[in-house]
Amino acid sequence: MEKIFENILKITTRDDYETVLSHVKKLIAEATANGALDDPEGDNEYIREIGRLSILGANYENEYIKFEHIKVRKKSPLIKSIEDEMYNRDIRQKELAEILGVNEPTLSQIMRGKRSISMRTAKKLHKSLNIDAKLLIDYA
101 phi, psi to nearest 5 deg:
75, 30
pLDDT at 127: 94
pLDDT at 39: 84
Determine the Cα–Cα distance for residues 76 and 111; give it in Å rounded to an integer. 9
What domains appear along the chain, each with residue ranges and CATH number? 14-64 (no CATH), 77-139 (1.10.260.40)
Residue partners of 82: CB distance under 8 A and separation at least 6:
96, 111, 125, 129, 131
pTM greater than 0.75: no
pLDDT at 59: 93
Determine the Cα–Cα distance for residues 126 and 51; give it in Å rounded to an integer. 58
Q: What is the mean pLDDT of each run of 10 residues along the chain (140 residues)?
A: 84 94 94 89 90 93 82 84 94 94 93 91 94 91
pLDDT at 34: 92
